[in-house]
A and B are shown apart, each in its own frame.
Chain A
Amino acid sequence: MNYLTHQELAAWLDHLAQEQTLIAPLNIAGNILYRPVKDTHEVVWDFTRSFMSVKDVFFPPTERLMLIEKLNGQVKLTETLPEGESIIFGVRPCDARGLLTLDALFIENEPVDPYYARRRENTTLIGLACPSVGASCFCTNVGGAPDDPTGMDIMLTASNGGYVAEIITEKGEKISKKFPVFDGLSEIRPHPTHARKRELRVPPKEAWPARFNDDFWAEMAERCLSCRICAYVCPSCRCFDVRDEALPGGNGQNQAERIRCWDSCNGIPYRKVAGGHNPRFMKNQRLRNRFFCKFYYFPLHYGPVSCTGCGRCIDACPVNVDITEVLIYMGRR
């Protein structure tokens, strides 16, 4: 184990920031968001949970997949893979688990997504255990923990006024050697974060299909606004839409780009198919899909549930649609 004082940690991060992009939690007009920083000067060290997860570093809201140009009567396609290495400081365990969900879809199963894979490869995660559990957090109920190092490259836990650091992967090892603060000699062990476990049982995937036609979905969806907050703040929601769009200007050349943007199954056009039919035109169908996706469809194809229990959707929903109420309902006989 390694023990770092706050100053040592900041000095190490500042050193890393000179070589690579350092992404860290910042307070932007009252919201904690992960943004690139030049040094640790403005970093927020103490926070419960960022507003948006680290998902958007790997799976940005909008990204160009390729550039399409018309040159001398020929069409030229240029793939635009992300460049550069980066480090994210202050990743919470729920977000790291969210990335594992995205990995299952984008990397572990064919076809591999080169854009996401490249970013994953070139990014090192420095985790930071949660000091406490937020009012809407329920990570312990879906297999996580506030100090769970799963998916991190280096895990930090605040302890005795400094941080206990555990190097987990080779990537973590590599960045730890860049500045002499890791001696591996500390006897201090991190204290586990006190997490009261809620009485909340996540039903097995087999329990879900029988409840597909329940009236419950229509009742709870009645107040749903069909916005996309829940999907966009979710660390494991990963739906997207791809479109070719013309670029303005272009010095007389015909230029277009293929872009990929976030999408959400709560949006009305999400499920629309050719010919205009929309098999999920009712909002209860759409909202139900969100929960079935997390607890039934995803486990069916990839194994674990895809909810990480971060509780962001609960806090952000303007009309209090609550995923834990769904779990409570499903837990009833």
Chain B
Amino acid sequence: MAFEPKIIAYLCTWCSYTGADTAGIARLKSPANIRDIRVPCSGRVSPEIIMRTFEQGADGVLVLGCHIGECHYNTGNHRAAKRLPVLQALLAYAGLEPERVRLDWVSASEGERYSRIANDFTDTVRTLGPIHWRVAERGAHFVWEQEPISHRYSAFSDEQPKHAVYHTAIYDEQTLILQAAARELLTNKLVDCVIGFEVGPRGRTRPAFIHQPENVERLVWNQDCTHNLSAYLSKKLGWGTDGGKKKQPDKLPKAAVVVKPCDSRSINVLLAENRFQRDQVYIIGMACDGIRQGAGFSNDKSGPIQTRCAACNVRTPVVYDTLIGDSEATYREIPPEHIYPGIDHLDALTPIERMNFWLSQFDRCIRCYACRQACPMCDCPICLYERDDSLWVGMGIDVDEKRAFHLGRAYHLAGRCVGCNECERACPMDLPLSLIHRKMAQEMETIFGYRAGMAVVPPPFVTILGGEENLP
């Protein structure tokens, strides 16, 4: 028997659903493979719905909405038009044939058009054959047996010395300036807390929270300050997800934070999303020459700088109240294929090979959520993938669920991720998460010409509530 695909179609109730009806009344032929689901608007079809549909065994997903300019809600279909191409790119990157998702427009009177699109899409999916997306077998392991794909930048591997020399004297000098700035802020009670870096008893540099002026001597600035401290800001200053206590609008907490140029970009995103007010945060910007590989974990003080730093072209924070230092490092123009070696390598593979690659990576994930917790952008009060009433992903720590979580998270970070690499650094299983997030950043730059965090501008997919709406 020939393969008959199972296709789920999400139809806007105001146009396409009626369009399908019109096709029926006109006795036009429509394939029996399609199961229609009526939705209020194509903008209602979130990427999670589509991903879940594939997880549950659909061979193709068709989304039909009103023509642009005819949306019942004015701009609902604009959202669908923005989202679907990015989702398609993400799923294709993860190993799904992009042809399995299609977005099109059908108005209520276009029965003939509905019939044509439905037939055409069914034929396309039938040619592709059955979907191999869901793994389903509990505890199955996946190993990547082809040539390893590195997620590290290769651009400088030849020219970079194995051991870099860090300007310890300059770090010491800047540490003193930093401590003085922190002391002043705390003594004058301009902030409640200074979030900076300290060196722990094991010699590992780690985040420090200074509340008293007499403790500022714990603060340091060195080649190991790799953490993105802006990850703590939303919870400290914003909507109080940790502790559940709502902040009083007339007495908003204030904090100072030490940021590198990359971290400063995430502050811009957070500000654009109204996580907190600009005057709640005092930004101590550090000009940055690059951070050492292995920083935050190993005690080797002379390793090479992180390759993301070697390719970084933002050496001075994009937003700050005080700037310390003057970066000596220069940016070198690097062709994109050298910056994103892993992405190119993956793009060149077949979809099934890409899927196997990602399964072999997600296989190691233990769903500890360290990536999410370390991320400055991941600050939903309850993560969509952790809600006890969530139907987007099961509770299991198996490769299907882990993939759903990571791809979902990648989509949620599209246009918001500033590439601080904290997720990848925090990952205990060494998953190449930057490979997904960089790919999404690339897509967002190509499609929308948007680079996250360069200014206080809301990312393309983000809907912002007004400042007052956001307050408790």
| A residues whose Cβ falls under 8 Å from a Cβ of B | 28-31, 33, 35-36, 51-52, 60-64, 136, 219, 222-223, 225-229, 231-233, 241, 243, 245, 248-249, 259, 261-262, 264, 267-269, 272, 278, 281-283, 314-316, 318-320, 322, 325
Supposing A29-B144, A227-B373, A245-B395 touch, asked if A62 and B200 sit within 8 A by C-beta, the answer is no
Supposing A223-B206, A281-B244, A322-B201 touch, asked if A269 and B227 sit within 8 A by C-beta, the answer is no
Whether B374 pairs with A229 at a CB distance below 8 angstroms is no
Whether B143 pairs with A227 at a CB distance below 8 angstroms is no
6 A-B pairs, CB-CB below 8 angstroms?
A63-B139, A232-B366, A259-B395, A261-B397, A268-B382, A319-B207
Supposing A28-B143, A261-B396 touch, asked if A226 and B366 sit within 8 A by C-beta, the answer is no
Whether B243 pairs with A319 at a CB distance below 8 angstroms is no
Within 8 Å by CB of B206, from A30, A267, A268, A319, lies: A319
- On chain B, the number of residues with a Cβ less than 8 Å from chain A's Cβ atoms is 52
Interface string of B131-146 (1 = CB under 8 A from A): 0001010110101100
Interface stretch of the complex, out of B36-44, B423-431, B435-443: B423-431
Instruction: Please report the C-alpha to C-alpha distance between residue A259 and residue B369 in the assembled complex, in whole angstroms.
Output: 20
Supposing A61-B367, A248-B55, A268-B382 touch, asked if A320 and B204 sit within 8 A by C-beta, the answer is yes
Kindly list chain A residues whose C-beta atoms are within 8 Å of the C-beta of B296: 318-320
Whether B388 pairs with A33 at a CB distance below 8 angstroms is no
Whether A223 pairs with B208 at a CB distance below 8 angstroms is yes
Within 8 Å by CB of A62, from B242, B373, B398, B428, lies: B398
Supposing A30-B430, A269-B388 touch, asked if A225 and B374 sit within 8 A by C-beta, the answer is yes
Instruction: Please report the C-alpha to C-alpha distance between residue A51 and residue B396 in the assembled complex, in whole angstroms.
Output: 21
Instruction: Please report the C-alpha to C-alpha distance between residue A211 and residue B57 in the assembled complex, in whole angstroms.
Output: 53
B368 at the interface (CB under 8 A from A): yes
Kindly list chain B residues whose C-beta atoms are within 8 Å of the C-beta of A322: 200-202
B370 at the interface (CB under 8 A from A): yes
Supposing A62-B139, A281-B244, A319-B206 touch, asked if A227 and B367 sit within 8 A by C-beta, the answer is no
B364 at the interface (CB under 8 A from A): yes
Instruction: Please report the C-alpha to C-alpha distance between residue A63 and residue B204 in the assembled complex, in whole angstroms.
Output: 37
B56 at the interface (CB under 8 A from A): yes
Whether B200 pairs with A320 at a CB distance below 8 angstroms is yes
Query: Nearest Cβ distance between residue B247 and chain A, in whole angstroms?
Result: 15
Kindly list chain A residues whose C-beta atoms are within 8 Å of the C-beta of B207: 222-223, 319
Whether A269 pairs with B382 at a CB distance below 8 angstroms is yes
Interface residues in B189-231 by Cβ distance below 8 A to A read 200-202, 204, 206-209, 227, 231
Known: A30-B430, A243-B395. 12 other contacts (CB 8 A): A31-B364, A35-B141, A62-B138, A62-B139, A62-B397, A225-B231, A227-B373, A229-B426, A316-B428, A318-B296, A318-B425, A320-B206
Whether B428 pairs with A229 at a CB distance below 8 angstroms is yes
Whether B139 pairs with A28 at a CB distance below 8 angstroms is no
Kindly list chain B residues whose C-beta atoms are within 8 Å of the C-beta of A233: 366, 428
Kindly list chain A residues whose C-beta atoms are within 8 Å of the C-beta of B297: 315
Kindly list chain A residues whose C-beta atoms are within 8 Å of the C-beta of B134: 248
Whether A281 pairs with B243 at a CB distance below 8 angstroms is yes
Kindly list chain B residues whose C-beta atoms are within 8 Å of the C-beta of A30: 430
Whether B395 pairs with A227 at a CB distance below 8 angstroms is no
Kindly list chain A residues whose C-beta atoms are within 8 Å of the C-beta of B232: 223
Whether A229 pairs with B395 at a CB distance below 8 angstroms is no
Whether B429 pairs with A31 at a CB distance below 8 angstroms is yes
Kindly list chain A residues whose C-beta atoms are within 8 Å of the C-beta of B386: 267, 269
Within 8 Å by CB of B396, from A31, A259, A325, lies: A259
Whether B143 pairs with A225 at a CB distance below 8 angstroms is no
Whether A28 pairs with B397 at a CB distance below 8 angstroms is no
Supposing A267-B369, A269-B382 touch, asked if A223 and B209 sit within 8 A by C-beta, the answer is yes
Kindly list chain A residues whose C-beta atoms are within 8 Å of the C-beta of B369: 227-228, 267
Supposing A223-B208, A249-B57 touch, asked if A29 and B430 sit within 8 A by C-beta, the answer is yes
Whether B206 pairs with A227 at a CB distance below 8 angstroms is no
Whether A229 pairs with B200 at a CB distance below 8 angstroms is no
Greatest chain A CB density within 10 A among B56, B207, B209, B232 is at B207
B394 at the interface (CB under 8 A from A): yes
Interface string of B142-164 (1 = CB under 8 A from A): 01100010000000000000000
Instruction: Please report the C-alpha to C-alpha distance between residue A249 and residue B244 in the assembled complex, in whole angstroms.
Output: 39
Whether B202 pairs with A320 at a CB distance below 8 angstroms is yes
Whether B370 pairs with A227 at a CB distance below 8 angstroms is yes
Within 8 Å by CB of B209, from A222, A261, A314, lies: A222
Query: Nearest Cβ distance between residue A318 and chain B, in whole angstroms?
Result: 4
Kindly list chain A residues whose C-beta atoms are within 8 Å of the C-beta of B56: 248-249
Greatest chain B CB density within 10 A among A30, A51, A229, A262 is at A229
Instruction: Please report the C-alpha to C-alpha distance between residue A228 and residue B360 in the assembled complex, in whole angstroms.
Output: 22
Instruction: Please report the C-alpha to C-alpha distance between residue A272 and residue B138 in the assembled complex, in whole angstroms.
Output: 28
Q: Name the residue on A nearest B375 (C-beta).
A: A225
Instruction: Please report the C-alpha to C-alpha distance between residue A245 and residue B370 in the assembled complex, in whole angstroms.
Output: 25
Instruction: Please report the C-alpha to C-alpha distance between residue A314 and residue B143 in the assembled complex, in whole angstroms.
Output: 28
Query: Nearest Cβ distance between residue B42 and chain A, in whole angstroms?
Result: 25
